[in-house]
Every structure is written in structure tokens, then in C-alpha cells.
Amino acid sequence: MRRLLRLAAAPLALLALGGAVPAGMDPKNPTCPQSPNWGGSKPMTLTPRTVNGLHVLMAEGAIDNGLLPRLSQALAKDANIAELWIRSPGGVAEVGNQAGLLIRKRYPGLITRVPAGWACFSACNFIFMGGNIRIVDNGGLFIVHMFTHVGDRAAVKDEIRQDAEGAVDMIADIEQDSAMLASQDNDFLIRMGVSRKLLTDVMYQQKAVAGSQGDQSTRRCLTQDELFKYNVVNAQ
């Protein structure tokens, strides 16, 4: 049987948003370090380990289209895995969502954890939220952002210049896709017991793409207080 384990995690220090950015922090994203340790861009690896007598599955790397069967197989192979330790720069949003639902439905006793020094960004958030018990250790990072369908602004501007009528159709498609994705995000958070205010107060307040001037922040590292406030984390 998978056993539940709760470890204390001291609150992260709040990062000042005004004035000089502390050494090692990202000037464009001042709540986050310059180089988050999110496991690199290679497809996510799943490595079982025993740490201080605890069976864990280490999930490290980008969330790719082939992750779901690998994750399902890795968890089914060892019924003693008690925790999923995760670090990732994100990847395929739909796969992250499906992996979170898989964990919640088939492995309700599995704890998800972002260990100290590790970072979980973008689609990784949804895998993490799949755990019934969720922990971000002191020094671990849960990083959110706003989704985007227009990451390449130059391409969008070029489309508008070359084909105004086609650009209108493209914008309509983007609006429809964005509405669908926002709806899916809301549905997922409701299913996982996470406050939807995480979306409206934090994630959707971020810019999807850095502007040409002024605030260029495109991601936000949540503090421990925020993690508990929005019920992203529910154990300590």
C-alpha cells in the first residue's frame, strides 16, 4: 500500500518586486531565479529511487507526447512508490493535464512533491496538482504563466501585413482556442480541489509574451503563502 508522508517545509522568503533585483534572480521575472532547475529540455525520464527508505519516482525533463504510457507503466510496475518527485520546464499542455488526471484517478495515495532546488513550470503544474497530497519543499519552485497561442509575434504581424482578411480569421481561431483552453484549466482545477483564483489572481495576470517595453515578466514563482492560499499545496 502506498503510504502518505508529510514533511515540514519552512516558508519561502518573499521576494521584493521593487528596486534592485537580488543576485541570481531574473531581472525580467524578479520572483524567479535566473536559471530554474527544471530538468532540461529532453523528454521526461522516470527513475525509481529509494531515499531514506522511501520509494519515490523521479520525473525529470520536458513533458512530451509519449509521457502518459511511460508514467502509467512506471507507476504500475512498483506498487510501493509513495511519492512522485518532479522537475520540468513544461511541454505538451494536454499531456500534463492527462497525467494529472491519471494520478488522481488511479493512484489517489501518491504524493506529488517539488523537492528543494527543483522547479515545476507550465504543463508540469498540472501533473503536480494531480496528487491528493501535494508538497513544495522549502527551496522548491512552483512556476506559473499565462498560456499563449501567439508566441511568435513577428509571424502574426507578418500575417496581418500580407493578408488582412486571413488575419481576422486567424485571430478568431486564436480567440476560440484560448476560450477552450481557459475552460479546460478551470475544469481541471475544480477536479483537483485547487482554487480557481490561482488562474484569475496569478496565472492570467501574467503576460503570455514579453512586451517590447515596460513589464516583461512572463512567469511567476509562487511563495509558500500563495501555494497554501490557493490550495496548490495542502500538506507540510
Q: What is the mean pLDDT of each run of 10 residues along the chain (236 residues)?
A: 32 37 85 95 97 96 98 96 97 94 97 98 97 98 77 50 62 57 84 95 81 76 97 96
Cα 63 to Cα 43: distance, rounded to the nearest angstrom: 6
DSSP string, 32-66: SBSS-----SSBPEEEEEEETTEEEEEEESBB-TT
Q: Which three cell numbers stand for residue 166?
A: 486571413
**Residue 43: all three cell numbers together:** 523528454
Buried b (16+ CB within 10 A) or exposed e, 97-109: bbbbbbbbeebee
Q: Quick one: cell of 202? A: 496569478
Domains in the chain, ordered, with CATH? Answer: 45-146+196-229 (3.90.226.10)
Rg (Cα) of the chain, in Å, rounded?
19
pTM over 0.85: no
> Residue 236 has what pLDDT?
87
Q: What is the pLDDT of residue 80?
A: 94
Which cell numbers hold the place of 208? 503570455
